[in-house]
Amino acid sequence: MDNGRIDSQLLFAQNAISNTMNQPELASPLAEYGYTEEKLKVGNALYKTAMELQNKQKKEYGDQYGATYELNAAKAGANATYMKHLKIARVVFGRDPGVSEALQLAGTRSRTFSGWLSQAKALYANALGEFGITKNKLKEAQALITDCEDKYNSQLKEKGEAQTATRERDKALDTLDRWVSDFVAIARIALESNPQYLEMLGIVEPD
């Protein structure tokens, strides 16, 4: 669901419930139709839960976007080093099919992260000797690949948490929406002779 629409839905619920609880001219007629202070408190609790989950969902998606940004930045840096080493390895080992296969030198680089990661890890795990690159440089490059893998796992975790937060929020919003829909329907009946009171609840009747 669109966040703008959700925020409007929450604001409407907050105003309708709060105004009813704080305005005797609204509370009294609605109480006669079952919307007592106790029932309004139930609605207010539903609103607060939905609001908290909406804020949590925004935070979790913010965390996911941050993790994705960090992953993309890490991969870009690691890939630049990897591609340089790949070119060198192809020159040194390109005529040896066994080594070429072990280092995954042939063919294009995978477009998927998992495929790219597998190819890059194969080079640094199976490199025979330094092939013109010092061991320290190879270890540094391997650490960059490992860091990418760690950031990928972190991104997956954040993605899962964001999806869970969305499901929890949507469930709470559905519950709140049912409560508000019933409340609005009864308010239209209870306040039919006082349209200005309906407007205080944010309910605008068509002309």
- Amino acid 134: pLDDT: 87
- Amino acid 203: pLDDT: 85
- Amino acid 94: pLDDT: 85
Q: How many residues does the chain have?
A: 207
- Amino acid 98: pLDDT: 93
Q: Which residues contact 190 (CB under 8 A, 6 or more apart)?
A: 29, 30, 32, 33, 35
Compute the distance between CA of residue 3 and CA of residue 9 in angstroms, rounded to an integer.
10
Give the pLDDT means over successive 10-residue stretches in the chain (207 positions). Answer: 89 95 94 95 97 97 97 98 96 91 94 96 84 88 97 97 97 97 95 90 75
Compute the distance between CA of residue 57 and CA of residue 119 in angstroms, rounded to an integer.
35
Please return the burial class of 154, using the count of CB atoms within 10 Å of its CB with bins 0-12, 13-18 and 19+. middle
- Amino acid 207: pLDDT: 56
Which tokens is 71 given? 């992953």
- Amino acid 2: pLDDT: 82
Q: Which residues contact 179 (CB under 8 A, 6 or more apart)?
A: 42, 43, 46
Mind listing the pLDDT tens digit for each residue in 154-186?
Answer: 999 999 999 999 999 999 999 999 999 999 999
Q: What are phi and psi of 49, to 5 degrees?
A: -65, -45
- Amino acid 205: pLDDT: 64
Mind listing the pLDDT tens digit for each residue in 27-47?
Answer: 999 999 999 999 999 999 999
DSSP strands (E only) in the chain: none
Residue 132, by phi and psi: left (phi above 0), alpha (psi -120 to 50) or beta?
Answer: left
Give, in order, the Cα–Cα distances in Å from 40 to each of 21, 131, 136, 183: 7, 75, 67, 9
- Amino acid 132: pLDDT: 80
